[in-house]
Each structure stands twice: as C-alpha cells, then as structure tokens.
Structure 1
Amino acid sequence: MSAPAALTHTAVLTGRQLRAFGRMPAYLVMNLVQPIIWLLLFGQLFKSVVDIPGFGGGSNYLVFLTPGIVMMMALFGSAWAGTTYIQDMERGVMDRFLASPTSRGAMIVATMLHQAVLTILQTLVVLGVAWLAGARFDGGAAGIAVLLLSAVLLTFVFAAFSNAVALLARAQTALIAISQVISFPLMFLSSAIMDTSLSPGWVRQVATFNPFEWAVVAGRGAMAQAPDWSAVWGHLGLLAVLAVAMTWLATRAFSQYQRRI
C-alpha cells in the first residue's frame, strides 16, 4: 500500500475513535479521578521523604511526584487501548476491516494516536492540579513539552502492546489480567513514587531496563532547573525505538488473529 493511502487510512480511523470519545467525554473524567487522588494523597502522605538522607529528588515532593503520576496515567490508560479491538471483534467490525483493503499498520497507529490525544489532555489537567496544589516547575514551557513527549512515547509503547494482546487473546478478561500483571510491577520498579537511590540495589538495576522508568526520568529531568539533556534525549530515544518495535509487533499480530478466525 502506498504511503498516502496509509496516511489517509490512519487519519480516518483516528477520527473514528476520536468521534467515539467525543460521544462519551465522561471517559476522560473517569480516567483522571484516580491519578488526581494519587497526586494529592501521595503528595501529602509522603511529603517528608525529601528530608530522608540520600533522597535526590529535590526539596519539594509534589514536584518530584507529578511526572511520575503523569506517566502512571499514561501507562494505565494505554494498557487498556486494546479494549477498542475487543469491542470491534465482538461486533464483527474487526472482520469487516480485515476483509477490506484497510492498512493494518494504520489500524494500529490510529489507536495509538487516539490514546496519545487523551494522554495529552489528561496530562495538562494533572499539571494544572499540581500547580494549584503548590508545585512549581523550573523547566518552563520546554520542560512541559518534553514531559508531554515522554508521556506520548510511553503511550505509544503500551497502546501497541495492548493492541497486540487483544489480537492474540481476543478476550477482555485476558487483556485486563495481562495489563494489570505488567503495569503495577513496572510502576513500582521505577522512581515514579520514590527516588530509586533509596531503593534496594536490585530495584535500581531493574529500573534501568524499565521503559516506564525511561519516561519518568526523561519527563522529570526536563522539568528540572538545569536539565541533563543528554540523559533526557537518551531515554526518549530508547522509548522511540521501543515504540517502533512494538508497533511492528502489533501489526504482525493481525496475521495470527486471522489464522485463528
């Protein structure tokens, strides 16, 4: 398929999903409730951890926590992206798509772009709540832009993964179970909530290979007063490579799905 045709398919399919979201905007609000509760609750419960010797996350825990909450929201939201595919399978829409000349890659990318739009909107709301709660970020507009980029790349990685799981498992319960099993360990084996300098050594080692940690480090680093841009762009590069790889794998999952029809 030609590149212009694939782009057209991507635009049409992304529009389809965004229109579906527009008919149920409450979905955005529901996805925001838990992250905001975490932000405000954890921000108060653990605000004294900045006084622990060895904590390297700065003097304001809310500022430290906010990028972690943004990535948690991106992770959990994108891990459910495959739900759209499950619904399409149950309604027979998926089979009609696959019987048409629709680009398989466009189907995957459209879901990823839809989730990215939701991530951006939710991130802006969380940043606004954090600002109202007293957080002040030294990175300015450039730092916020990189934070958004980090969240979007993380969304791409796990939206593609969720799509692949949906195509292979073909069941909502399996998708939910696999998403939960993967999401929570990734979250806790990172510096989202606690500086890994205070964690056991094995946690720090695992975190270096954790894509969720890559996004947290890049986003938090860009929001700092004096960002280490080499580290920021290095982690963003790793996320970008993984996003491309996961997109390819998710596209390949269509062939396995069709063999099992």
Structure 2
Amino acid sequence: MNKPSAIEEILTNRTRPKSPPAIQASATFAWRALLRIRYVPEQLFDVTVFPIIFLLMFTYLFGGAISGSTGEYLNFVLPGILVMTVSMITMYTGLDLNKDIEKGVFDRFRSLPIWQPSVLVGALLVDTLRYLIASTIMVTLGYILGFRPEAGFSGVIMGVVILLLFSFSLSWIWTMLGIIVRSEKALMGISMMFLFPLTFLSSVFVDPSTMPNWLQKFVDINPITFVVDAVRTLIHGTGTNGDVMIVIYISIALIAIFGPLTMYFFKNK
C-alpha cells in the first residue's frame, strides 16, 4: 500500500490539536488587521489626513480670534485637538467589526477552538497602533508649526500614553455596539451622535470659565474634559496629578463594564 499523505494522516488522526495560547491567538488576529491595512492603505486616511486638517483649520481659523495669537492658541489647543481626533477615530473599531459580522467572518471565528476574546483583543491592539500614529503625526506637525510643550518631550510622551489608555477603553463601547447594531450606517450615526457633543462641549477649544454657568456644569463633568485636562497637565505641567488619576479610573471603569458586555454579546448574538 502507498504511504498515506500528510493530509490523510491529519484527517485520520483522532487527537484533537491543542488550542493556541491566548497571546498567540491575539497576535494572529492583530496580524490579520495589519494585513488589511497593508492591502487597503486608504484605511489610514483617518489617522493621517484628518489630524493634519483639524490642527491647521482650528489653529489658523480660530487662533487669532480666541487668543489674539495663533502661536499661543496652538500651545493651548493642540492637546485638546489631539484628544478630540483620537477619540473620534475610536468609532472605526466598531465599524470594521460590523463589516466582518455582515460578511459572516465572525461566525467562523466563533467556531474556532481558540481563546474567544483574542478575536476582539487583536483588532483593538492594532487600533491602538493607529491611535499612536495619529498622535505622532499631530505632535510632529505641532512642533513644525511652533508648538512648545512646557513639560518637555517626556511630558508629551506621558500625555500620549494616557490618551492611548482612554482611547483603548473607549473602543470597547463601539466594539459592543458593532456587534449589536444591524448596519454600519446606523453605528456611525450613533457614534457621531455621542462623540460630537462630547468633544465640542468640552475644554478642547476654549477655557470652560468663559462659558455660561449652565454650560460649565455639563463641561465640568464631561469625560472628554477630564482627558483634555489630564493631557494638558502632562504636556504643559499645569494642573494636578488628580486629573490623570481621574482618567485612569474612567478608563478602568469603561473596560470593566463594556469588556464583559462585549464578550457576552459576542458569544450569544
């Protein structure tokens, strides 16, 4: 008899292969997300073109009117626009997930003998890399335009780190909605309905003390305001470390709440 081929040996072998470790499975799905960017580089427009447009537009359109000098306004507004841009980019995590669900890809993933959260964790890790790219582009452009952080480059790094932590936690909300919502357009509408008021009604563009009292009350409890204040504290050395700790607590709470909810809907929907 002819010797059985390798495929025949695998098919006749009754021993179930071991499941890959969680880290390896997550890395595999992260690599899948990177390959998608490689073959469709247009996906990076939101982290390359948009930050540049936002920074140039708001600095030179409103800088002179608000601060009397575009240079002074640039130092104030860059941390805010950095938070706004990265926060708005987080919604694309849910949009990509929703596309995979519509195509039926996730039905196959859920049938695999792997650590199930790796499907989502891998994608979220790559999205965090996208947030880092957007932050790097914006800070680099800011330096070219004359941005000078009072806390130095180390303060900028710490500010970006705290922003990445918050963005990672915020992505879990859109990931959960990406599983629940039926269409990509509906998810985009929901995300913009929340992100636009939160980002514009905050301390991103102006000092809240210049706002009406009734508006200040909302701005003061806005999570985006906490993040902007924390990033400004680290970049310019103003404020207190309490601003940073509040953002850390908010990020942990978001992951603790929406992480399990996301996995529940992922397994049962």
**Which TM-score bucket, shorter chain as reference?**
0.7 to 0.9
Partner of 1:11: 27
For the 8 Å contact 2:48–2:133, the answer to whether it is kept is: no
How far apart, CA to CA, are the structure 2 residues paired with 1:92 and 1:214? Answer: 39
For the 8 Å contact 1:80–1:179, the answer to whether it is kept is: no
TM-score normalized by the length of structure 1 = 0.86
Partner of 1:54: none
CA deviations 1:216-250 (Å, max 9, x no partner) are: 11111101145522322332332233233222222
How far apart, CA to CA, are the structure 1 residues paired with 2:188 and 2:154? Answer: 35
Partner of 1:22: 38
Of residues 195, 219, 228, the one that matches 1:183 is 195
Deviation at 1:69, TM superposition (A): 1.3
The structure with the largest alpha-carbon Rg is 2
Deviation at 1:30, TM superposition (A): 4.4
For the 8 Å contact 1:190–1:196, the answer to whether it is kept is: yes
In structure 2, relative to structure 1, the CA distance for the partners of 1:93 and 1:64 (3 Å cut) is same
Whether 1:45 and 2:45 are equivalent positions in the alignment is no
Of residues 147, 155, 163, the one that matches 2:175 is 163
Whether 1:119 and 2:136 are equivalent positions in the alignment is no
How far apart, CA to CA, are the structure 2 residues paired with 1:226 and 1:187? Answer: 21
How far apart, CA to CA, are the structure 2 residues paired with 1:225 and 1:166? Answer: 38
Paired residues, number: 250
In structure 2, relative to structure 1, the CA distance for the partners of 1:31 and 1:248 (3 Å cut) is same
Q: What does 1:92-111 correspond to in 2, within 5 Å?
A: 92-111=104-123
How far apart, CA to CA, are the structure 2 residues paired with 1:202 and 1:255? Answer: 43
In structure 2, relative to structure 1, the CA distance for the partners of 1:127 and 1:120 (3 Å cut) is same
For the 8 Å contact 2:47–2:131, the answer to whether it is kept is: no
For the 8 Å contact 1:190–1:207, the answer to whether it is kept is: yes
For the 8 Å contact 2:124–2:168, the answer to whether it is kept is: yes
SS at 1:18's partner residue? helix
For the 8 Å contact 1:153–1:243, the answer to whether it is kept is: no
Give the root-mean-square deviation of aligned CA atoms: 2.4
SS at 1:82's partner residue? helix
TM-score normalized by the length of structure 2 = 0.84
How far apart, CA to CA, are the structure 2 residues paired with 1:8 and 1:222? Answer: 34
Gaps of 5+ in 1: 52-58
Partner of 2:259: 247
SS at 1:81's partner residue? helix
**Percent of counterpart pairs with the same letter?**
26
Letter in structure 2 aligned against 1:6: A
Partner of 2:17: none
Gaps of 5+ in 2: 1-19
How far apart, CA to CA, are the structure 1 residues paired with 2:188 and 2:246? Answer: 31
Letter in structure 2 aligned against 1:8: Q
Letter in structure 1 aligned against 2:153: A
In structure 2, relative to structure 1, the CA distance for the partners of 1:234 and 1:135 (3 Å cut) is same
CA deviations 1:36-70 (Å, max 9, x no partner) are: 2221121122224236xxxxxxx811111111111
